Amino acid sequence: MTKRYLENWISSYMYLVKTTEPARRFHLWVAITIVAAMLGRKCEIEFGPVILHPNLYTILTGPPGIRKGEAIKYGESILEKVVETSGLAPAPDIITRQAFYKQLELAEHTDYDNDGKPFIHSSLLVIAPELVVFLQEKEINQRMADLCALYDGKAHLLYQTKTQGETYAVNPSVWLLAATTPNWIQISMPQLAVGGGMTSRTIFVVSMAKGAHIPFTRMPKFDPELSSKLIYDLAEIKKMIGRFTFDQEAIEYYEYWYIEAFPKHGVKDQRLLSYIERLPSMVIKVAMVISASKRDTMIVTRPDLKQSVQFFSDLHHTMPLAFGGQGLSSLGAQTNMVKELLRNRIILSESELLSTLYMHITKYDMERIKETLVGAKFCRIDIKGGEKCWFLSENEIQNTEKTADEN
């Protein structure tokens, strides 16, 4: 067994960044994705008749100015120190399709298991603080198709061009850690937002506000001793190779969750149905990561699985916000505007609603939106101060408060 300084890499990282402004969930999923990338294609687990690798596509989503990029930057500052000694380098976020496949080929690395058996793989981490820069709007359809194909774990990949020859990658796998806004998804990625193949493979980590509001003068420097331990332990995690297994209690818990709890996931947004179909495999991948963050036994335990399930459950009530108003309804965007306004105000008179959103909705639109939101039990209509008002439902108030607490 290798030596480690920290009992839990993820929780230690969260302690390191606790006095910064990004939402806690942003920090958490940055940490999870980085550990997953360190495991690489060289780590796997059986998932019925198929083999899973811990590759994740994680997109931090929220309005501008809430420190999404900073959350990524803090994780990258730890990763860079490991890269200096490990040879693993993230792909540039500004990159053509041809250059992307070349980077994948150059990422080829040989690792050896405990018996000295070699394993060749091309594991590539893409860090894109601005997702639009990596996807490139002119190539967006093709780039997303490439990511979908790479997610599913081909044994090899051959990319050919007419003028530049061919690129060949053995056991290719890609990790994506990116950030964007709901508005950009709505405008530029409609095929993603309405439940396409990329949606089913992506973990959207949504926050609509900063986790804290701290002047930089009150932000202490990161603890150098803890930073050093995080760097050292992450390098040790990267040495792990082979197959993870479940202990018996983990098997029993997974069977219970899949049969009893998973069907009651509570995600009602049609745009996320394809994501829900892949949720069980994502839960297993993150459970591998949680296990690796604590120990090098490569055994997934019941607590690992339970924590993974909880991490995903904490995302689901805000995940639909990643898509803004994108959908097939002609009033989807306007309905989303009303929902966000009501979440912020809790109570909203109809005159306030119209005066605030007069550039986007008419009185006729408002009546149609009201019918939809009341029917969905998002809000109720009542009289206050002699005027008809919209009241956010108790359930939505609780969800809003829960999100604020998690941030």
The answer to whether residue 245 scores a pLDDT higher than 90 is yes
Structure tokens at 329: 């309804």
Position 58 scores a pLDDT of 97
| Right CATH for 332-406 from 1.10.1060.10, 1.10.10.10, 1.20.1250.20, 1.10.150.120 | 1.10.10.10
Contact criterion met (CB below 8 Å) for 138 and 153:
no
Q: What is the DSSP letter of 346?
A: S
Question: Do 169 and 28 meet the contact criterion of CB atoms below 8 Å apart?
Answer: no
What value does the mean pLDDT take over residues 235-245? 95
Residue with tokens 């606790």: 18
Q: Is the pLDDT of residue 330 over 60?
A: no
pLDDT digits (tens, 9 = 90+) for 118-174: 999 999 999 999 888 888 767 787 888 888 889 988 777 777 665 566 888 889 999
How would DSSP label each residue in 9-75? HHHHHHHHTTTSSS-HHHHHHHHHHHHHHHH-TTEEEEETTEEE----EEEEE-STTSSHHHHHHHH
Q: By CB neighbour count within 10 A (0-12 exposed, 13-18 middle, 19+ buried), where does 377 fall?
A: exposed
Instruction: Note the pLDDT of residue 221.
Output: 92
How many other β-carbons are positioned within 10 Å of the β-carbon of residue 320? Answer: 21
Residue 262: both structure tokens together: 């998973």
Contact of 350 with 387, CB cutoff 8 Å: yes
- Let me know if the fold of 9-323 is the same as that of 332-406: no
> For the chain, which residues make up each domain, given as ranges?
9-323, 332-406
Q: Identify the H or E element spanning 119.
A: strand 118-128
Q: How many residues does the chain have?
A: 407
Total-model pTM = 0.82
Q: Range with the lowest mean pLDDT among 167-176, 194-203, 250-259?
A: 194-203
User: Cβ atoms within 10 A of the Cβ of 254, count?
Assistant: 22
pLDDT digits (tens, 9 = 90+) for 86-104: 545 566 666 788 888 888 8
CATH class assigned to 9-323: alpha beta
